[in-house]
Structure 1
């Protein structure tokens, strides 16, 4: 079975929406259903969505009232669950949280499902995002992305699916309790997968590379805001301080050079000094820090391979789903 459902929270995406909509309509393995949640757009997004919904019977558009501004982190997941709560998860083998600012190769979902069928422990996976440097992306992108000379990789780690296109085995998504309504929801989920014995992966293969039309971390305000927000999210998740310093140092080598890493440290240290709350699952934070320290000592690739091998003994695809972890720190305790 290859029934998958896309769920797309969006707001004011008129600049990019048609690119993503066309990319999905070109898929060799199209979705069984696509629920798009317009989170109060004030631009031409509703008109564009209506036009495509009239053309493709599997597209269904829901609209949330305008709250005045983007609400990052929890707001994105609120909108996601507005769509997710309207479906029967048991009717789909896979579910995907998909952003509306991407351009994808036509065999993207077909290839992901091939890999998941070959390894039943893969709970979530994705390709890798690239963006065009030095100007806006061209009107047409030639896939697969064998030549990346005009592109910049967002250099995301291999140990999770990427936040803008999280493709999940539905059974795994239900077992981990879904997404938390906080920043770093897209980091917590992958570690929760491994905690329960599932594998979370992304691959930098030409056939799975895709274009992020709005680079990650730029925020809807600025690069600085996006990177500070990421540092806050790392604090909330429970990231080890030494690992955070190493990650920020590495990020200084990527655009925007130096200041991006400094902004991450500001978000993390500022949250620490203010005593901001953390993800409310002590066992999860201990699991996370053990893995992060192993990455520092043995390297991420070796540490990930060793952890995945150890966690195979706890994997149980028939385990009862966790209580929904949607409400941040408090619900996270129940999910643990």
Structure 2
């Protein structure tokens, strides 16, 4: 029986503190990738050297360096798609997108591929993330259907059907909703875990992290009514009120600036229909 094969890809900029831990985790995997593409997205620290040293040691690691000035595009998906060849992503069974600030056990990739074997409808899978807190590590809360961008494994068929990854904030919502619209399921698995050493948005500072979910929601085409309900629901989250204010400020910024959304009109209609059904307590793609 032929074993499943996968391609891994990691964009990174100025990740000298965490990248060695990710490399150590990948090297220890019980199922190694056919190729792991490391993309230096204009780093100014030791990240390029760490990548080159890893590639010199392991033949299945391939490094690309880019020159970039100014802020990095959130998520790094534009640069990811630039270096994913059509031949490789169409010949291997899975595409595994990883953040550079992760560490995990040796069976992570094998366990995720096992879930695809158990569920033929599964299109996107991810690990559950644990992030640092005052008491050590805590699970980053997210509904079971949401696949966190830090660890995303796509089946070849799903990746092809959704047209790859979307640039900018909101990409990790757009891909899973588009997958659901096309008949695939998406899921994070509680028994598959990874440590996320820098929580989402932490690199950009607290204010930017607070705005980011709203910006992403605008890009994905979320319903204004759903966003108001979401802001009201989160008003008691710390920091009190401010969390909701920043969420709505990020969302409304797109309207004020007349920004073009990343999601197309068909996807936006699909998202809003299911969000309105959810507000009414009806069945949706999110159960």
The TM-score normalised by the length of structure 2 is: 0.91
State the Cα distance separating 1:271 from its structure 2 match.
Answer: 2.1
- Map 1:1-336 to 2 at 5 A: 1-73=3-75, 76-85=76-85, 88-134=88-134, 150-203=136-189, 205=190, 207-218=191-202, 220-254=203-237, 256=239, 258-279=241-262, 281-298=264-281, 303-304=284-285
CA distance in 1, matches of 2:25, 2:14: 19
Change (3 A) 1:115 1:249: same
State the Cα distance separating 1:155 from its structure 2 match.
Answer: 1.4
CA distance in 1, matches of 2:41, 2:230: 32
CA distance in 1, matches of 2:205, 2:230: 20
Structure richer in strand, relative to its length: 2
State the Cα distance separating 1:90 from its structure 2 match.
Answer: 2.4
CA distance in 1, matches of 2:39, 2:177: 27
RMSD: 2.0
State the Cα distance separating 1:297 from its structure 2 match.
Answer: 2.7
CA distance in 2, matches of 1:222, 1:248: 21
Unaligned segments of structure 1, at least 5 residues: 135-148, 307-336
The TM-score normalised by the length of structure 1 is: 0.79
Native 8 Å contact 1:154 1:216 kept in 2: no
Q: Which runs of 4+ in 1 moved over 6 A?
A: none
Q: What secondary structure sits across from 2:44 in the alignment?
A: coil
CA distance in 2, matches of 1:236, 1:210: 27
Q: What secondary structure sits across from 1:128 in the alignment?
A: strand
